[in-house]
Structure formats: C-alpha cells, structure tokens
Structure 1
C-alpha cells in the first residue's frame, strides 16, 4: 500500500491540517453547546439528531487528522490507490477512492 500524502504538495497538506484542526475545534464547541441541558423536552429529538451528526463530523475530522499525521492521508483504505486531490478537496475526510466507495455503498 502506498502512502497517499507523498503525492500531494506539502503546502496544501499543511493548510488542510490547519483547516481540519479549526473545524474540529468549532465542532467540539458546537457539541458542548448542544449537550448543554436546555430543559425543553420538545427539542430533545432535534438535539439528539444534531448531537449525532456533530459526533460523526468529529469522528471524520479526527480520522483525517490522524491519517495526515501518519502519512496515510489520501490512500484508499480498501485498495491503497491514491484518492484524487479533487475528491479530497470536496470531501477532506474521504477514506476510499470512488470505485471502492461505490462498492461499499451497495
């Protein structure tokens, strides 16, 4: 399996890491705010959905940051091929190339 980060320029990777770190901080603050007890039972269902979505976002961001730090960012976790930069620019937490992602969604 090749390391994906070797095919991307270092400046882009550094900027991406800063962006993801900032987004992680923002999502953490959002989660803290969402988990504060408002005492309104009518909002419980909506809050639960927003908390779940925020936790999923945090998991995706932390996974991308972990892959950046280990040098595996940009490599498909299934087949090891490089994930195109265009895909990563749109979906920075992408773990799979498009063909593998499509097979996974079936």
Structure 2
C-alpha cells in the first residue's frame, strides 16, 4: 500500500496555515483589546476607530478561513470553486477567491 505524497503535503500545508491563522487570530484579538481600551485622548479617537474597524475585519477574515478549514472547503474559490493555488494561500492564508475571481470581485 502506497501513501499519496500529495495528500500528505497538502495536509501538512493546511496544518501549517491553520497554525499561522490561529496565531494571527490571537494577535489580532489582543490588538483589538488594546485598541478598545479608552485612553481618554480625543485626538486619537478617529485613528483608533479606523484601527478597530480594520482589526475587526481582519479577525472576521481569519475566522472565516478557520471555519472553511473545519468544513473542508478551505482552498477552494468561493466563486468558481476551482482550487486556489498554494502559493496564493501561503501569501494570503485567508483568501476566499482565486486571482481571476478576486479581480472580478473588485
């Protein structure tokens, strides 16, 4: 009985990406906690508000990617259902779309 090296390599890559996403989720959660602490400086309110929104968006994207991993749909384009290249996922682990579909998405 032979082992399919591609499946093993894919599983190792997914495990590595899951660890990266989990670490990033934890870091973004800590950042959000820091950002939502009231410093009392009204001059920072606008900047802090923008940073909070960006951090929440990042957390949502990471959470969605971790959910797709749990569901087994991670690495498949949400639009055309083609596999998302491993290189794209290495660079942008929370990617939902392949490059052509992302360009159409806007």
Tell me, in whole angstroms, the C-alpha distance in 2 between the residues paired with 1:95 and 1:68.
11
- TM-score, structure 1 normalization: 0.89
What are the Cα deviations for residues 10-62 of structure 1, in whole angstroms up to 9, with x where unaligned?
11111111111111011001000000010000000010011011001101100
Which contiguous aligned blocks of 4+ residues in structure 1 show a shift greater than 3 angstroms?
none
Unmatched 5+ stretches in structure 2: 1-6
2:3 maps to which residue? none
**CA RMSD after TM alignment:** 1.4
1:46 maps to which residue? 47
| Map 1:16-95 → 2, pairs under 5 A | 16-95=17-96
Tell me, in whole angstroms, the C-alpha distance in 1 between the residues paired with 2:22 and 2:32.
15
1:98 maps to which residue? 99
CA 89–12 in structure 1, closer or farther in 2 if over 3 Å, else same: same
- TM-score, structure 2 normalization: 0.89
CA 48–8 in structure 1, closer or farther in 2 if over 3 Å, else same: farther
